[in-house]
């Protein structure tokens, strides 16, 4: 597993042991207002007016706020120490902590003498608005926080909002302990399931933090293999970590997090959280810890999180394996949706999905994002992740070098290495409808059954066209590539990205433009295409537009006894490429159409493209779908459904949608040459695997009868230029060839190009390694011969996965 956390010293625990405060029942009325004035207040006064304000944080912290109560600090004033807040409002009548008077935000300064300058304990229906918080000391031996929203064994805590806070200069050990942050939400205990509902963190600025910007976690997080909560960092024993009980309705939005030594924003242990419109800049910067790394926005232990409309830039990097990405779906996440984000200048890359075997991350969708000038790698999926889909993203990749300077453990210079990288056993990866402007000429991993489908490649000499079902290799004609604004990555008129994609489940693109029926454009931007106009021979004709409004919940219905056959026409302003017609209907068993032809208008005539008998099973509000597939993809501006029969009257149709089906399996180009061998071949393998374009499919010898020397011959059928030959093998230290000579055919005889090339395999795992034999100079040849003089025979067999000439 790729590591993230350098284990820091034990963190302070005082913020985690506050006693529970019972919710206070409120009464009708506006509530009480309490005032605090650092210069002229008096703790012996009533605190009920500006003239009788309290003076100290200690006195202010003694009040138990109730429904509608307000605790207000005088603007332009400064307090040193810790502010402790407690109490509870009611729905619609929250307790409020804020400011009064004219001037700058009131400042709570922990002076580095407290674990958190503001600690809010076991509250609900509670708002903190408009404070400035700092907690700085020259002593960097301890981790500190600015604001800690804390709960322990308190049950469901609703409607808490922290907004308009300026949290800055909170220093510590300069790494990334999960026990400290500018703003930390921490939930402890193991006797009463505790979680927040409708928690909002919004419009805060958080900067110059010696750990995380924003982090949220809970001891109610045990599931799958997640049985600990970073005990070295938090001091929380595994025995306190209990059954996963997520916070719900979490919204982290419109915050500006910058110049932090750890991650920027990290929500953990939530369900249905939305992280949106945040800006994270220069995370993982200024670290005094020399090991480890982190990510601009990352999340762990969540279900159904949505991360959208964020901008993340200039995240720091400590070399391979230390993250440094803009975004990361980390361990134990299910169904993350990452969309409409702008990632740029992050030294480690744009996006990473990562987990470990006992707590995998599953079903992550990364769609309609823009990445510019990110470093090292673009889209990555790591150990034990499954079902990661990269859809309609635009990546503008430059050849900038990322330099990591000593004393950091990853010191070195790193060029951009992979546009798509698959670590270890990452499975179920789909790369579809993306635009890759690849000025670095970086590679694309092709293993573990990855599907490349309808992507555009430009700027690289050898895009993986053999691995893509329908690669477009052309200049996408972007508006202003290289500029800082995301708008510069919108395709111009005439772009080959137009109408070149397959249907994906998305309502709109990066800029909010609806994704139309039929083939969408490639990349993060979609041209504006008006919905099809609908007409029909059926009566009545009202509300026919519902058939093409992309909302299956709305329906059109005919008169009770419609005349058959009848027609329904879809007319688009521009031709739409499609291969499928999907008919959606509710009450389908008694109202839907059952016999239909699909026609298109061609030179004034209607031409039948396909027909279908539709079989429906339900007769309630459930919306069923039936798909009619054409023999091939066509492009037309007018599409007609000729309805020949229906289940009954009236006819009801909820939606008619044109589509282009996506590939469901990796592209298999088949053998590009004829391979043969003198070695005995295993009954379960074929020698064609050596030249099938798939480095993950193996040839293996029989486990007995292997003797040396032995030969492989590859015949390309025609002359080709060859400068190098690369061998691909997995489990190589157990079954890889170790001593190989290379010959080429000059038309009459074999000519030796490399004698006794010694491989240097490193792995005894499923990782596919490569060893390249470089010719003294390129040659023109039809055939190559590999003579194997020796090999690893740990299991009695040898194996090769691919022989690639280039």
DSSP per-residue letters across 532-543: PEEEESSS--TT
Lowest-pLDDT range, 21-30, 43-52, 795-804?
21-30
How far is Cα 227 from Cα 67, in angstroms, rounded to an integer?
38
Q: Does residue 31 have a cis bond before it (omega within 30 degrees)? A: no
* pLDDT of residue 100 exceeding 50: yes
Shortest CA distance to 775 belongs to which of 730, 724, 711? Answer: 724
Residue given tokens 């907004």 in the structure block: 163
How far is Cα 194 from Cα 117, in angstroms, rounded to an integer?
24
* pLDDT of residue 800 exceeding 60: yes
How far is Cα 326 from Cα 422, in angstroms, rounded to an integer?
17
For the segment 550-572, the average pLDDT, to the nearest whole number, is: 92
How far is Cα 640 from Cα 601, in angstroms, rounded to an integer?
8
pLDDT (0 to 100) of residue 466: 74
How far is Cα 227 from Cα 242, in angstroms, rounded to an integer?
8
What contacts 24+ positions apart, CB below 8 Å, involve 623-627?
A: 623/552, 623/553, 623/584, 623/585, 623/586, 623/654, 624/584, 624/585, 624/586, 624/588, 624/592, 625/582, 625/583, 625/584, 626/582, 626/583, 626/585, 626/592, 627/580, 627/581, 627/582, 627/583
* pLDDT of residue 5 exceeding 60: no
Q: Is 376 left (phi over 0), alpha (psi -120 to 50) or beta?
A: left
H or E stretch including 60? helix 57-60
Written as six digits, the tokens of 347 are 């030294």
Reported pTM: 0.83
How far is Cα 706 from Cα 797, in angstroms, rounded to an integer?
7
How far is Cα 548 from Cα 20, in angstroms, rounded to an integer?
55
* pLDDT of residue 24 exceeding 70: no
* pLDDT of residue 23 exceeding 70: no
What is the chain's alpha carbon radius of gyration, rounded to the nearest angstrom?
Answer: 31
**DSSP state, residue 82:** -
> Within 13 Å, how many C-alpha atoms sit on residue 478's CB side?
26
Written as six digits, the tokens of 106 are 């009131």
What is the DSSP pairing of strand 132-135 with strand 166-170?
parallel
How far is Cα 509 from Cα 524, in angstroms, rounded to an integer?
6
Residue given tokens 């991350």 in the structure block: 361
What is the DSSP pairing of strand 412-414 with strand 402-404?
antiparallel
Within a 10 A sphere around the Cβ of 517, how many other Cβ atoms?
A: 25
3-state secondary structure 88-143: ECECCECEEEEEECCCCCCEEECCCCCCEEEEEECCECEEEECCEEEECCCCCCCC
pLDDT (0 to 100) of residue 657: 95
Pair 536, 544: CB distance under 8 Å: yes
> How many DSSP H helices and E strands does the chain contain?
4, 62
Pair 666, 467: CB distance under 8 Å: yes
Tens-digit pLDDT profile for residues 502-515: 999 999 999 999 99
Tell me the helix, strand and coil percentages in the chain, rounded to 5: 5, 45, 50
Bridge partners (DSSP) of residue 508 are 514
- The percent of residues in the chain predicted with pLDDT above 70, rounded, is 95
* pLDDT of residue 184 exceeding 70: yes
Within a 10 A sphere around the Cβ of 751, how many other Cβ atoms?
A: 14
Pair 565, 629: CB distance under 8 Å: no
For residue 558, give Cα distances in angstroms to 555, 745, 754: 10, 73, 77
Tens-digit pLDDT profile for residues 614-631: 999 999 999 999 999 999
Written as six digits, the tokens of 786 are 């590999």
**DSSP state, residue 340:** S
Q: Between residues 148 and 602, which one has the greater pLDDT?
A: 148
User: Is the C-alpha dihedral spanning 796, 797, 798, 799 positive or negative?
Assistant: negative
Residue 572's SS3 state is strand
The count of residues in the chain is: 806
How far is Cα 35 from Cα 50, in angstroms, rounded to an integer?
6
How far is Cα 703 from Cα 705, in angstroms, rounded to an integer?
7
Q: Is 265 exposed, middle or buried (0-12, 13-18, 19+ CB in 10 A)?
A: buried
E-strand stretches of 701-736 = 710-729
Tens-digit pLDDT profile for residues 671-711: 678 999 999 998 878 898 888 777 777 899 998 999 999 99
Show Cβ contacts of residue 92 under 8 Å, excluding neighbours closer than 6 positions. Answer: none
* pLDDT of residue 8 exceeding 60: no
For the segment 523-544, the average pLDDT, to the nearest whole number, is: 90
Confidence of residue 25 (pLDDT cuts 50, 70, 90): very low
Q: How far is CA 607 from the centre of its chain?
A: 43
Pair 645, 594: CB distance under 8 Å: yes
- The percent of residues in the chain predicted with pLDDT above 90, rounded, is 85
Bridge partners (DSSP) of residue 460 are none
Shortest CA distance to 308 belongs to which of 257, 246, 367, 378? Answer: 367
What is the DSSP pairing of strand 566-585 with strand 655-659?
antiparallel
How far is Cα 618 from Cα 622, in angstroms, rounded to an integer?
7
Tens-digit pLDDT profile for residues 198-234: 999 999 999 999 999 999 999 999 998 899 999 999 9
pLDDT (0 to 100) of residue 172: 84
How far is Cα 664 from Cα 450, in angstroms, rounded to an integer?
10
pLDDT (0 to 100) of residue 104: 98
- Largest Cα separation within the chain, whole Å, is 107
For the segment 452-457, the average pLDDT, to the nearest whole number, is: 97
pLDDT (0 to 100) of residue 541: 67
Confidence of residue 27 (pLDDT cuts 50, 70, 90): very low
Written as six digits, the tokens of 141 are 């031996």
Pair 654, 623: CB distance under 8 Å: yes
pLDDT (0 to 100) of residue 670: 65
Confidence of residue 649 (pLDDT cuts 50, 70, 90): confident
Residue given tokens 């307790």 in the structure block: 95
Give the angle subtended at the CA of 298 by the CAs of 292 and 303, to the nearest 5°. 135
Confidence of residue 275 (pLDDT cuts 50, 70, 90): very high
How far is Cα 245 from Cα 223, in angstroms, rounded to an integer?
10
For the segment 466-483, the average pLDDT, to the nearest whole number, is: 94
Confidence of residue 128 (pLDDT cuts 50, 70, 90): very high
pLDDT (0 to 100) of residue 697: 76
pLDDT (0 to 100) of residue 684: 77
How far is Cα 215 from Cα 642, in angstroms, rounded to an integer?
57
Lowest-pLDDT range, 1-15, 459-473, 484-498?
1-15
Q: Is 20 exposed, middle or buried (0-12, 13-18, 19+ CB in 10 A)?
A: middle
Tens-digit pLDDT profile for residues 380-416: 999 999 999 999 999 999 999 999 999 999 999 999 9
Within a 10 A sphere around the Cβ of 95, how many other Cβ atoms?
A: 30
For the segment 471-475, the average pLDDT, to the nearest whole number, is: 95
DSSP readout, 612-638?
EE------SS--EEEEEEEEEEEEEEE
Residue given tokens 């901008």 in the structure block: 311
* pLDDT of residue 360 exceeding 50: yes
């Amino acid at each position: 597993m790729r590591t993230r956390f350098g284990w820091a010293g034990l963190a302070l625990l005082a913020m985690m042991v506050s006693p529970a405060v019972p919710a206070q029942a409120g009464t009708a009325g506006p509530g009480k207002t309490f005032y605090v004035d650092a210069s002229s207040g008096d703790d012996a006064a009533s605190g009920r007016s500006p003239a009788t304000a309290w003076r100290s944080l200690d006195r202010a912290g003694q009040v138990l706020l109730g429904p509608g109560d307000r605790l207000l600090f005088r603007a332009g004033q400064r307090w040193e120490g810790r502010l402790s807040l407690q109490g509870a409002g009611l729905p619609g009548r929250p307790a409020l902590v804020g400011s009064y008077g004219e001037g700058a935000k009131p400042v709570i300064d922990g002076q580095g003498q407290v674990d958190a300058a503001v600690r809010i304990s076991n509250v609900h229906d509670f708002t903190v608005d408009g404070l400035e918080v700092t907690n700085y000391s020259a002593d960097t031996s301890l981790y500190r926080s600015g604001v800690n929203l804390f709960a322990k064994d308190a049950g469901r805590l609703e409607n808490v909002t922290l907004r308009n806070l300026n949290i800055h200069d909170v220093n510590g050990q300069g790494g990334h302990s999960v026990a400290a942050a500018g703003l930390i939400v921490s939930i402890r205990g193991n006797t009463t399931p505790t979680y927040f509902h409708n928690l909002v963190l919004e419009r805060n600025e958080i900067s110059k933090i010696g750990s995380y910007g924003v982090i949220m976690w809970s001891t109610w997080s045990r599931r799958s293999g997640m049985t600990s909560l970073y005990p070295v960092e938090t001091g929380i024993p595994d025995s306190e970590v209990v059954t996963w009980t997520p916070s719900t309705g979490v919204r982290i939005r419109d915050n500006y997090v910058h110049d932090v030594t750890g991650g920027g924003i990290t929500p953990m242990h939530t369900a249905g959280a939305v992280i949106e419109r945040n800006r994270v800049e220069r995370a993982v910067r200024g670290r005094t810890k020399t090991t480890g790394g982190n990510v601009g926005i990352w999340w762990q232990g969540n279900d159904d999180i949505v991360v959208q409309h964020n901008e993340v830039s200039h995240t720091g990097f400590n070399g391979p394996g230390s993250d440094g990405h803009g975004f990361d779906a980390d361990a134990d996440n299910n169904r993350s949706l990452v969309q409409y984000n702008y990632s740029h200048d992050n030294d480690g890359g744009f996006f990473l999905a990562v987990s470990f075997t006992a707590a995998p991350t599953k079903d992550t969708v990364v769609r309609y994002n823009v990445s510019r000038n990110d470093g090292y790698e673009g889209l990555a999926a790591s150990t034990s992740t499954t079902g990661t889909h990269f859809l309609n993203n635009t990546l503008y990749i430059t050849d900038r070098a990322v330099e990591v300077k000593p004393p950091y453990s990853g010191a070195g210079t790193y060029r951009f290495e992979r546009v798509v990288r698959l670590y270890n056993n990452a499975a179920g990866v789909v790369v579809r409808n993306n635009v890759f402007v690849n000025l670095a000429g970086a590679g694309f991993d092709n293993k573990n059954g990855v599907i490349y489908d309808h992507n555009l490649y430009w700027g690289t000499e050898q895009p993986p066209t053999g691995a893509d079902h329908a690669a477009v290799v052309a200049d996408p004609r972007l508006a202003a590539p290289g500029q800082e604004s995301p708008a510069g990555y919108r395709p111009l008129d005439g772009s080959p990205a137009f109408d070149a994609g397959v249907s994906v489940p998305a309502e709109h693109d990066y800029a909010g433009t609806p994704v139309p029926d039929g083939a969408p454009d490639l990349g993060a931007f979609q041209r504006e295409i008006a919905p099809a106009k609908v007409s029909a021979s059926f009566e009545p004709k009202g509300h026919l537009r519902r058939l093409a409004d992309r909302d299956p919940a709305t329906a059109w219905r005919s008169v009770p006894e419609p005349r058959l056959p009848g027609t329904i026409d879809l007319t688009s302003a521009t031709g739409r490429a499609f291969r499928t017609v999907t008919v959606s209907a509710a009450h389908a068993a008694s109202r839907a159409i059952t016999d239909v032809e699909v026609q298109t208008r061609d030179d004034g005539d209607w031409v039948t493209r396909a027909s279908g008998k539709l079989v429906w099973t339900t007769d309630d509000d459930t919306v069923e779908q039936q798909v009619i597939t054409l023999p091939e993809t066509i492009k037309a501006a007018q599409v007609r459904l000729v309805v020949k029969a229906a289940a009954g009257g009236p006819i009801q149709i909820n939606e008619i949608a044109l589509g282009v089906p996506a590939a469901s399996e990796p592209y298999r180009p088949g053998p590009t040459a004829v391979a043969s061998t003198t070695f005995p071949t295993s009954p379960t393998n074929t020698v064609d695997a050596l030249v099938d374009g798939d480095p993950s499919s193996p040839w293996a010898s029989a486990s007995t009868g292997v003797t040396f020397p032995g030969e492989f011959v590859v015949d390309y059928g025609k002359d080709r230029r060859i400068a190098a030959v690369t061998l691909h093998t997995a489990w190589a230290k157990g079954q890889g060839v170790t001593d190989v000579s290379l010959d080429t055919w000059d038309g009459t005889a074999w000519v030796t190009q490399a004698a006794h090339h010694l491989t240097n395999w490193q792995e005894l795992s499923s990782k596919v390694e490569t060893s390249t034999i470089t010719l003294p100079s390129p040659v023109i040849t039809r055939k190559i011969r590999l003579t194997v003089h020796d090999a690893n025979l740990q299991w009695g067999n040898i194996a090769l996965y691919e022989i690639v000439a280039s």
